[in-house]
Structure 1
């Protein structure tokens, strides 16, 4: 069975002292639990994270990447720069980037491509709006997002990939999708990936996470679903006590994990 993956998206939060403390807590946690932990801090704390997470079993991730290898792109970070900071994972296609910074499907596809070309693992975010959900377009929209984001890569490049299903209407709103909705939509995603890349590729190389107001209160039910390989956690990842409960939900202690 695939190991669970819990990714923390700190977004634009915390100061240097707070982030350092949280890195240290996450590093200790990673040593005694079976899920794979990925911590995605603001870019200013990446190098600190690389030092604090070293040899803990937790991995460092970034929240964004530029689609170009290098050049006159003031304020941007390249895939190679992120690797130099110790990153292994990078979030792309988050609905906040799409909505607030105008990132379209073509740009997301370019970012996925540059990450895979540089042996970094994309955490590809997909999810429907509330209007699309009410119109019954959830399944068709999320499968479209997958196809468009992966349009520039082929199966041979999918050594590792993370897809995070985050319904837009549930991000930072305290509205969590029902367990039935999560199971149905993520089953659609998994089936689509199997049709696209075959069962063995999905089983070995792709994690499918749920995100969208994941908390210490709803994580047990979410992580109990067979189609859920883990969670992408936003606000709750800033509170270590809440984040620890999420990381420990429905998993075996490290000593007995297979």
Structure 2
């Protein structure tokens, strides 16, 4: 399936890192560099306590904020959780759902991820639904089956209009934080499969072709150069390199100038 050309999307996931001082320095540097990024959409994912501060620092800037997680319910007695409407209220544009660390470390099931995506859409946020296989699953030929099991519950609960607002992110678990990046052939194959899965499941071929699908997994300035040349890659979900202003800016430029 041929993807329709869209502006690239580069998301910087800070995970559980940062401080008011460090965040200010990072975001001020990104604001200074933004003119050199080119035609690219850029967003950063601060931890919850820093979201409002980051939104304020990025005011009148094209850089947006993405939340790292959200609750699967809209409101209620869910101590420690944050709702989609709260995230929208403080100025978030996107929210991650189903990051591999949430699935693996915190037990987020694919059904729970589907509920989170639904809550995000209800609140006017764009959900970035993450999927990815472990090394063991890949080695025994279960990559596609794993991705389908992770994504199908989300697809089942969405209308065509909803699907037009969804972003997918492929993050092979074996490549996250390991320094190992999937090969161009592996990435191309999986991203084509994901778009075909959306088309076959929903019957919405045009939506599937236009759906942004990001790659995440040890993305750095060096790998971003060739990742940006892959037509199937709509952008990247960046981890550790997103905490370094110079590295993150280089990644943004690679995708903005392709």
- TM-score tier by shorter-chain length is over 0.9
Aligned to 1:15: 19
Secondary structure of the equivalent of 1:150?
Answer: helix
* 1:199 corresponds to which of 199, 202, 205: 205
Larger mean Cα displacement after TM superposition, 150-159 or 105-114: 150-159
* 2:139 corresponds to which of 130, 134, 137: 134
Any unmatched runs of 5+ in structure 2? none
Whole-angstrom distance in 2 between the partners of 1:245 and 1:199: 34
Whole-angstrom distance in 2 between the partners of 1:96 and 1:34: 30
Q: Residues 12 and 197 (structure 1 numbering): CA distance in 2 closer, same or farther, change over 3 Å?
A: farther
Bigger relative CO (Cα 8 Å, ≥ 6 apart): 2
Aligned to 1:152: 157
1:75 and 2:80 correspond = yes
1:216 and 2:221 correspond = yes
Aligned to 2:52: 47
Contact 2:110–2:149 under 8 Å retained in 1: no
Instruction: Note the C-alpha offset of 1:145.
Output: 1.6
| Residues 152-203 of structure 1 deviation map (CA, whole Å, 9 limit, x = unaligned) | 2221222311111000111111111111111111111122223335232234
Aligned to 1:247: 252
Whole-angstrom distance in 2 between the partners of 1:80 and 1:232: 23
Larger mean Cα displacement after TM superposition, 26-35 or 87-96: 26-35
Contact 2:45–2:68 under 8 Å retained in 1: yes
The list of structure 1 runs, each at least 4 consecutive aligned residues, that deviate by more than 3 angstroms after superposition, is 28-32
Contact 2:195–2:209 under 8 Å retained in 1: no
Instruction: Note the C-alpha offset of 1:31.
Output: 4.1
Instruction: Note the C-alpha offset of 1:71.
Output: 1.1
* 2:123 corresponds to which of 107, 118, 133: 118
Whole-angstrom distance in 2 between the partners of 1:84 and 1:28: 26
Aligned residues: 252
* 2:191 corresponds to which of 180, 186, 189: 186
Contact 2:160–2:204 under 8 Å retained in 1: no
Instruction: Note the C-alpha offset of 1:40.
Output: 0.8
* 2:94 corresponds to which of 66, 89, 94: 89
Instruction: Note the C-alpha offset of 1:16.
Output: 0.9
Instruction: Note the C-alpha offset of 1:223.
Output: 1.5
Secondary structure of the equivalent of 1:217?
Answer: helix
Instruction: Note the C-alpha offset of 1:51.
Output: 0.9
TM-score (norm 2): 0.93
TM-score (norm 1): 0.93
Secondary structure of the equivalent of 2:95?
Answer: strand
Aligned to 1:226: 231
